[in-house]
C-alpha cells in the first residue's frame, strides 16, 4: 500500500497570507495525485487533480505542483472560506489518502 504523509498537521495562517501544504508518497505515484478540501460537517470537495489541474469552479488562488513522491498545494492569499482540512490522495495504485492538514486562522 502506498502511504501518503502530509505536513504540517496544522497550519496557522492569517487571512491574506500564503499557505503551503506538503504531501509525500512512499513510492512514486507519477502525477496521479488529487487534493480535496473538507469543511466541518461537509463531504470532501475536489480541488486539484493530476497534481496541478484545478477542478471546475476552483479559484485560481489554489495551485498544485509536484510529481513522483513530492507534492505541494499552495493557497496564494487565504480567504475566510479557505480555513478547512485538506487531504491529498494518490490514485496511481489503488487509492490512499494522507492524514490531512488543518488550515486554521492565526
Partner 1 sequence: QVQLVQSGAEVKKPGASVKVSCKASGYTFTSYYMHWVRQAPGQGLEWMGIINPSGGSTSYAQKLQGRVTMTRDTSTSTVYMELSSLRSEDTAVYYCARGAGEQLNNWFDPWGQGTLVTVSS
Binding site residues, partner 1, CB under 8 A: 32, 34, 36, 43-46, 49, 55, 87, 89, 91-92, 94-100
Nearer to partner 1, 36 or 78 (CB): 36
Query: Of 6 and 69, which has the nearer Cβ to partner 1?
Result: 6
Task: Decide whether 18 or 39 has the Cβ nearer to partner 1.
Answer: 39
Minimal distance, residue 18 CB to partner 1, in Å? 24
User: Which residues partner with 85 through β-bridges?
Assistant: 38, 102
Which distant-in-sequence residues (6+ apart) come within 8 Å of 80 by Cβ?
A: 15
Measured at the CA of 83, the angle between CA 79 and CA 87, to 5 degrees, comes to 125
Helix, strand, or coil here: 81?
helix
Q: How far is the CB of 80 from partner 1 (least distance, A)?
A: 23
- Residue 81 has phi, psi (to 5 degrees) of -75, -5
Amino acid at each position: 500500500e502506498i502511504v501518503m504523509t502530509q505536513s504540517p498537521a496544522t497550519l496557522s495562517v492569517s487571512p491574506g497570507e500564503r499557505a503551503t501544504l506538503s504531501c509525500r508518497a512512499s513510492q512514486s505515484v507519477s502525477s496521479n495525485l488529487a487534493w480535496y478540501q473538507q469543511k466541518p460537517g461537509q463531504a470532501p470537495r475536489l480541488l486539484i487533480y493530476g497534481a496541478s489541474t484545478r477542478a471546475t469552479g476552483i479559484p485560481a488562488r489554489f495551485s498544485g505542483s509536484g510529481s513522483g513522491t513530492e507534492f505541494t498545494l499552495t493557497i496564494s492569499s487565504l480567504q475566510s472560506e479557505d480555513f478547512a482540512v485538506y487531504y491529498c490522495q494518490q490514485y496511481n495504485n489503488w487509492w490512499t489518502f494522507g492524514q490531512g492538514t488543518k488550515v486554521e486562522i492565526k
